[in-house]
Structure 1
Amino acid sequence: MNQNTGKFSGEALVPTLAVYAVTDRHWLKPGQKLADQVRETLEAGATFIQLREKDLPEDSEELRQEALEIQELCREYGVPFVLDDDAALAAEIGCDGIHVGQEDMEAGAVRELVGPDKILGVSAQTVEEAVLAEERGADYLGVGAVFPTGSKDDAIEVDHDTLEAICKAVSIPVIAIGGITVDNVKELAGRGLVGVAVISAIFGADDIGAATRELSRNVDKYLLNK
């Protein structure tokens, strides 16, 4: 059962999940920092930021400073900020929460570490994983990969009927992840999603702001019926 009693919890969490941007330094231009890209997408309407950093050691000062810088930006825009996998750093810097995969720390253990007021997101590929994650304290689920993706080498594809079954099996919000673009998001309509998580669809674009705005329009139109 969802245990979060913090600022971004319950129904208040749902609208923040619409356009969920996941960082990837692979897309950085020369002289650019992740914070520069994050500011661009926040200015254009991204509603949630996850720092996913696979190229820096978990205990490095560089990662800590990067996380603090992006956290400050997110607070400026009133947008939730979570770390990928690193529960210890999330607890240390007091960010809004953490997202973990099935191969990372178990959701219940993460909840114990970060406490009841932090956002806990969990990746799931099956109904069984989704239900268990909710029981262990997850606030939202990231389900995918819903399309082929090059951002994660070990991504498991999830068919759209399973995606819909997961949405119906849990009471917490569900977002789709994996291979989502501004064009194919329409194929996810009617499945019960509250948003999408993307990497290259935003950060791989020549114009991050324009890509964010277009994705936001399509999420509103096809997923949220606005």
Structure 2
Amino acid sequence: MHRIQQLAQAGPYAVMLREKDLDLPSYERLAGEVKEICDRYGVLLILHQHGIVAEKLKLSHLHLSLPALRTYKAGERPLLVGASVHSVAEAEEAQALGAAYVVAGHIYATDCKPGIPPRGLSLLRQVCQAVALPVFAIGGITRENAREVLASGARGFCVMSEAMTCEEPAALVEAFAKAALP
């Protein structure tokens, strides 16, 4: 929790809680704790795959895999739903299914996807041109390549590894914010 607090205190646009290995009750407990931290610092919390938990916590956003988006049924409380995509066809399908945004990747090589070649900036440009939705890039995004990601048409980017391993989260968030400036 200390790392989440450090990151939220630094003021990123959002924190996505992506914990694939937790059972639902454990994920819900963790989401409640992360929500308290994000609320304290005014940072958007996006849950991954668990719409029931997002609704229960009265959150506004949910992120889904494309297969999950295909079967997603909104509950009583409508959520802004985004989807992960890996091709232009998937981005177009997500848009047709009502996604509010897409996360395209992985753009650069990343330890999170060992042995799987990155899809590169060309995919990112193609996705940005193909859909009217905001497109966010993921996969190997660093302070050094963030500008070229944005120059490719992405609205923003997602950072996982460096955010969880850097020594100074506030400096990291500031560096990425500077990279986003024209």
Q: Is this a same-fold pair by TM over 0.5?
A: yes
Q: Percent identity?
A: 27
Q: Provide the alpha-carbon RMSD of the alignment.
A: 2.0
> What is the CA–CA distance in structure 1 between the aligned matches of 2:137 and 2:76, rounded to whole Å?
26
- Residue 81 of structure 1 corresponds to 45
Q: Aligned-pair distance for 1:156?
A: 6.0
- Residue 181 of structure 1 corresponds to 142
- Residue 122 of structure 1 corresponds to 83
Larger CA deviation: 167-176 vs 37-46: 37-46
- Normalising by structure 2, what TM-score? 0.89
Distance 1:144 1:155, change over 3 A: farther
Q: Please tell me whether the aligned partners of residues 70 and 97 of structure 2 are also in contact (alpha carbons under 8 angstroms).
A: yes
Aligned AA for 2:19?
E
> What is the CA–CA distance in structure 1 between the aligned matches of 2:76 and 2:119, rounded to whole Å?
30
Structure 2 residue 131 is matched with structure 1 residue 167:
no
- Aligned pairs, how many? 182
> What is the CA–CA distance in structure 1 between the aligned matches of 2:55 and 2:95, rounded to whole Å?
21
- Normalising by structure 1, what TM-score? 0.73
Q: Please tell me whether the aligned partners of residues 146 and 177 of structure 1 are also in contact (alpha carbons under 8 angstroms).
A: yes
SS in 2 for 1:98: strand
- Residue 17 of structure 2 corresponds to 51
SS in 1 for 2:99: coil
Mapping of residues 9-20 of structure 1, within 5 Å: none
Q: Please tell me whether the aligned partners of residues 11 and 43 of structure 2 are also in contact (alpha carbons under 8 angstroms).
A: no
Segments of 5+ residues of structure 2 without an aligned counterpart are none
Segments of 5+ residues of structure 1 without an aligned counterpart are 1-32
Larger CA deviation: 112-121 vs 62-71: 112-121
- Residue 38 of structure 1 corresponds to 4
Q: Aligned-pair distance for 1:95?
A: 2.0
Q: Which has the higher contact order (CA 8 A, sep 6+)?
A: 1
Deviations 1:159-181 (A, max 9, x none): 21221111111111001000111
SS in 2 for 1:150: coil
Q: Aligned-pair distance for 1:143?
A: 0.4
> What is the CA–CA distance in structure 1 between the aligned matches of 2:65 and 2:113, rounded to whole Å?
12
